[in-house]
Amino acid sequence: MKKKFRTDILKINEKRPNHVIISKASKLICSGEIIAFPTETVYGLGANALDPSAVSKIFEIKGRPSDNPLIIHIADMKTLRTLVSQIPPRANRIIKKFWPGPVTLVLKKSKIVPKITTGGLSTVAVRMPRNNVALALIRKSGLPIAAPSANISGRPSPTTATHVKDDLDGKIKLILDGGSTEIGIESTVIDMTQSTPMILRPGGISKESIENEIGKVLFQNSHIGIDRKKIKIYRSPGMKYRHYSPKAHVMLVEGPENDAKSKIMQLAEKLEAEGKKVSIMSASKSLKVNSEKIQYMGRSLETIARNLFANLRQADKNNIDVIIVQGIQYNKIGFAIMNRLKKAAITNIRV
Ligand code: AMP
Ligand code: MG
């Protein structure tokens, strides 16, 4: 797509969002335009969720398949009740505990939600973000805002306004720049329409934390990403698409620490001998290779999550051919991190 607009980036303070900027942004939303704004997970590309023509622009600009539904962002419970036909008791418990925050509930939709927003499904995904810019924008526009991540489909999600500009410059009128996002990976999506709720996408809130509130929840196996090709029925259409991929070829190496490290070093040597520019992403500081090659992922799971997509995008800026990533533990938010890495990876190696 050609450049259609001049894309303005307006800096806005997350703690106390400037009224004038919020007014300008909400006017665009109310007139059927789309804009990018920060949430606590990643940057969103927002439109009036109830306006089919505004929502269609999101799909067009991202190049998003039309059967991959959008999450609707709201700022109050009154709006939730207009979007869904039913709120089961367990959904209410999750809302009480985690909203505003990075959990998205899939519920039966009401008539006012257009099919284009839900990718043709009779269910709708809704969440209340906890970023003040997002909340101020939703409140000021007085509308529920449908917003997927503000990247070209298939690319790593944006966690800064610059990432959004890198993908969407000239395609949207406005990016609200609220700095780096707090969590860095997307929300947990949970289907509340089943007799036992099912996590469709792991994310910012872990399965353990949700189970502490409502008891047993299921997982669909494909969210780790490996059996993506084998699964025939996708409860969450987003699962079947390739995702989070930088231009560089991502190789994921999993296994016991020492074995994984030697495999990584061996791979790096081989690829470099073939003339490839290699970067290694690892949460371990003790890899014995030239330090400029290493992208340290961070110590805590929270830091790893926060920097994950920025690290993948940085490799592209550095013209890296191959990113070798050392897998991390599948616990808490590590599960969501590994889900993103498995989807980003072209090669998955177990040692
Ligand atoms: P994104 O907005 O790109 O971060 O992705 C939103 C995720 O939520 C995708 O994986 C969608 O497939 C999923 N999703 C959205 N709405 C629904 C729904 N009604 N039922 C199941 N999954 C949904
Ligand atoms: Mg996305």
Q: What is the pLDDT of residue 207?
A: 94
The verdict on pTM exceeding 0.75 is yes
pLDDT bin (cut points 50, 70, 90) of residue 294 is confident
100 cis-preceded (ω within 30 degrees of 0)? yes
d(C-alpha 16, C-alpha 125), whole Å: 28
DSSP lists the bridge partners of residue 252 as 325, 348
> At 308, phi and psi to the nearest 5?
-55, -55
333-342 average pLDDT score: 94
Residues with CB under 6 A from ligand 1: 68-71, 106, 118, 121, 123-125, 148-149, 186, 189, 200-201, 235-238
From the CA of 109, give the closest atom in ligand 1.
19
127-144 average pLDDT score: 98
The answer, yes or no, to whether residue 185 has pLDDT greater than 90, is yes
The answer, yes or no, to whether residue 328 has pLDDT greater than 50, is yes
pLDDT bin (cut points 50, 70, 90) of residue 150 is very high
Q: What is the pLDDT of residue 96?
A: 98
Cα 17 to middle of ligand 2, angstroms: 25
Q: Which of 67, 116, 127, 189 to mutate to test the pocket of ligand 1 (most atoms within 8 A of CB)?
A: 189
Domains and CATH numbers, the chain: 8-230 (3.90.870.10), 249-350 (3.40.50.11030)
pLDDT in tens, 239-274: 555 688 889 999 999 999 999 999 999 999 999 999
Distances (CA, A) of 127 to 60, 106, 239, 332: 23, 9, 19, 20
Mean pLDDT of the chain: 92
67-88 average pLDDT score: 97
Q: What is the pLDDT of residue 157?
A: 97
d(C-alpha 341, C-alpha 113), whole Å: 33
Q: What is the pLDDT of residue 226?
A: 43
Instruction: Choose among 215, 217, 202: nearest CA to 301.
Output: 202
Q: Which positions ≥6 away from 349 have C-beta within 8 Å?
A: 251, 252, 253, 254, 263, 267
pLDDT bin (cut points 50, 70, 90) of residue 221 is low
pLDDT bin (cut points 50, 70, 90) of residue 291 is low
Q: Are strands 278-282 and 294-296 parallel, antiparallel or unpaired?
A: parallel
The answer, yes or no, to whether residue 74 has pLDDT greater than 70, is yes
Cα 189 to middle of ligand 1, angstroms: 7
Q: What is the pLDDT of residue 241?
A: 57
d(C-alpha 238, C-alpha 218), whole Å: 18
* The two structure tokens encoding residue 140: 């000021």
Q: What is the pLDDT of residue 286?
A: 76
